[in-house]
């Protein structure tokens, strides 16, 4: 039976992923990375008046003919209102952000003028154009105008705009809850004594961080032993979340019991195994509105599987509308590199920014259990199946797990 290709598996996951319900939430920095579920209209004209864009002098442009001397009749600070109408031969000292006084139609920057303190007069070089250095009322947005739409990703600038239009709460799509379950008799927690043939649970810490970076909420369920009695209650608890991530126990070994327990609970298998390296024995299924991923036990396989398959699903659940699934970039191979595999391979590389663009240096990677080498990398070169040879300067596609998806 032919293995699913990565793109085919991704499309199946997105097909079975649905946007989570919306909820009303107060506006705070905790909303970064979440998605609007309503349109936002401005409650004001912005700016609410014609305002000065510089520190300088508010003048009548028609008064300025060459170097012109004007009388200073008032000083206008930001936040104050002028009751004076500028007459011919007059000017007002004005600060950035202050309202333009009646009669004036231009502002001249302070730096190009000469002020006589004793006589309270200023020399203005001409010519001066109408509306010079003035931001007109409602030029940024008009009252009632839609300024943000459903599906907008909330970044710092959107939060600032929401404050500008007076919003203290919004309707946003709910944040996915992700349960994480490690499996295996050989797995122990990092703080426990390490005995023969045991390994520490790196997957839980890795996946908790990946889920957090994806702007979802992780919940660690612990370690399940390779018995039905241990697996059943923990999997049942995980199926109450929006997403269940299970590491280990999904291959074809004697104690790989996870698929059987999932079948017992009614999880519908969508696929099991994908044509990639590392991470071939990857399971995906659904139970009602819960997405279930069985990730391989080796940590690098889990990392690649998360970036290729879990993160796109989380984006869909959160209401993200971007069409790209896995962010990649082009980089030049920094040295000669040879690789051979029967499957597409995601090979760790270190990125360097050179004068002519990004360069990728393959690291000394020892396989899917080698997490230390991944710490020396920035991304994964996407290598086609078969035998490939790169010369120095050849371009390769690089998957970027570190890419800030909400910048």
Q: What is the pLDDT of residue 252?
A: 59
pLDDT of the residue at 33: 92
Binned at pLDDT 50, 70 and 90, residue 254 comes out as: low
Q: 65 or 36: whose pLDDT is higher?
A: 36
Which tens digit of pLDDT belongs to each residue from 379-395? Answer: 999 999 999 999 999 99
Ranges 5-9, 246-250, 301-305: which has the least confidence: 246-250
Query: Which band of pLDDT confidence, cut at 50, 70 and 90, is reported for residue 406?
Result: very low
pLDDT value at 268 more than 80: yes
pLDDT band at 314 (very low <50, low <70, confident <90, very high): very high
Q: What residue ranges define each of the domains in the chain, with the CATH number in brackets?
A: 6-20+175-317 (3.40.980.10), 22-45+143-173 (3.90.105.10), 51-135 (2.170.190.11), 328-399 (2.40.340.10)
What value does the mean pLDDT take over residues 326-350? 93
User: Confidence band (pLDDT; 50, 70, 90) for 405?
Assistant: very low
Give the per-residue pLDDT at 325: 67
pLDDT (mean) for 19-45: 97
Average pLDDT over all residues of the chain: 93
Nearest to 318 by CA among 15, 55, 8, 17: 17
Q: Is the pLDDT of residue 250 over 90?
A: no
pLDDT at 322 over 80: no
Share of the chain above pLDDT 70, in %: 96
- Higher-pLDDT residue of 251 and 303 is 303
Kindly report the backbone phi and psi dihedral angles of residue 183, in degrees, each rounded to the nearest multiple of 5, phi listed first.
-135, 155
Q: Which pLDDT score, from 0 to 100, does residue 321 have?
A: 77
Which residues have a Cβ under 8 Å from the Cβ of 290 and sit 6 or more positions away?
239, 240, 241, 242, 243, 244
What pLDDT is stored for residue 327 in this prediction?
78
Q: What is the 3-state secondary structure (H, E, C) of the chain?
A: CCCECHHHHHHHHHHCCCCCCEEEEECCHHHCCCEECCCEECCCCECCCCEECCCEEEECHHHCCCCEEEEEEEEECCCCCCCCCCCCCEEEEECCCCECCCCCCEEEEHHHCEEECCCCEEEECCCCCCCCCEECCCCCECCCCEEECCCCECCHHHHHHHHHCCCCEEEEECCCEEEEEEECCCEECCCCCCCCCCEECHHHHHHHHHHHHCCCEEEEEEEECCCHHHHHHHHHHHCCCCEEEEECCCCCCCCCCHHHHHHHCCCEEEEECECCECCCCCEEEEECCEEEEEECCCHHHHHHHHHHHHHHHHHHHCCCCCCCCCCEEEEEECCCEEEEECCCEEEEEEEEEECCEEEEEECCCCCCCCHHHHCCCCEEEEECCEEEEECCCCEEEEECCCCCCCC
pLDDT tens, position by position, 58-77: 999 999 989 999 999 999 99
Structure-block tokens of residue 114: 């000469």
Phi first, then psi, for residue 46 (nearest 5°) are -135, 125
3-20 average pLDDT score: 95
> What is the per-residue pLDDT across 148-161, written as a single tens digit (0 to 9) for each?
999 999 999 999 99
pTM of the predicted protein model: 0.87
Whether the per-residue pLDDT at 129 is higher than 50: the answer is: yes
d(CA 407, CA 405): 6
Q: Rounded mean pLDDT of 307-329?
A: 86
Q: Can you give the pLDDT at residue 407? A: 40
């Amino acid at each position: 039976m032919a293995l699913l290709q990565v793109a085919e598996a991704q499309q199946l996951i997105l097909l079975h992923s649905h946007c989570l319900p919306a909820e009303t939430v107060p506006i705070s920095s905790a909303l970064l990375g979440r998605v609007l579920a309503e349109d936002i209209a401005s409650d004001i004209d912005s700016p609410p008046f014609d305002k000065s864009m510089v520190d300088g002098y508010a003048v009548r442009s028609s008064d300025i003919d060459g170097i012109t001397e004007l009388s200073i009749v008032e000083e206008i600070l930001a936040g104050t209102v002028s009751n004076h109408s500028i007459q011919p031969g007059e000017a007002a000292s004005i600060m950035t952000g202050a309202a333009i006084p009646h009669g004036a139609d231009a502002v001249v920057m302070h730096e190009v003028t000469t002020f006589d303190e004793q006589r309270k007069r200023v020399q203005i070089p001409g010519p001066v154009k109408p509306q010079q250095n003035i931001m007109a009322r409602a030029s940024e947005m008009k009252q009632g105008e839609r300024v943000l739409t459903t599906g907008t990703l909330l970044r710092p600038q959107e939060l600032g705009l929401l404050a500008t239009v007076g919003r203290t709460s919004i309707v946003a799509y709910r944040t996915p809850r992700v349960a994480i379950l490690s499996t295996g008799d050989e797995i122990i927690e990092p703080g426990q004594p390490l005995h023969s043939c045991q390994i520490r649970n790196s997957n839980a810490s890795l996946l908790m961080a990946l889920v957090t970076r994806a702007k979802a909420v992780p919940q660690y369920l612990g370690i399940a032993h390779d018995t039905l009695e241990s697996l059943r209650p923990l999997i049942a608890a995980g199926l109450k979340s929006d997403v269940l991530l299970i590491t280990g126990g999904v291959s074809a070994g004697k104690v790989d019991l996870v698929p059987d327990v999932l079948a017992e609970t009614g999880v519908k298998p969508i696929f099991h195994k994908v044509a990639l390296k590392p991470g071939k024995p990857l399971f995906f299924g659904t139970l009602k509105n819960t997405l279930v991923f069985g990730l391989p036990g080796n940590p690098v396989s889990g990392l690649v599987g998360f970036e290729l398959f879990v993160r796109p699903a989380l984006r869909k659940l959160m209401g993200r509308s971007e069409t790209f699934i896995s962010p990649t970039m082009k980089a030049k191979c920094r040295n000669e590199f040879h690789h051979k595999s029967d499957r597409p391979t995601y090979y760790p590389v270190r990125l360097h920014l050179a004068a002519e663009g990004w360069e990728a240096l393959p690291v000394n990677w020892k396989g899917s259990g080698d997490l230390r080498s991944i710490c020396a990398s920035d991304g994964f070169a996407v290598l086609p199946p078969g035998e490939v040879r790169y010369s120095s300067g050849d371009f390769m596609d690089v998957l970027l797990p570190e890419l800030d998806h909400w910048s």
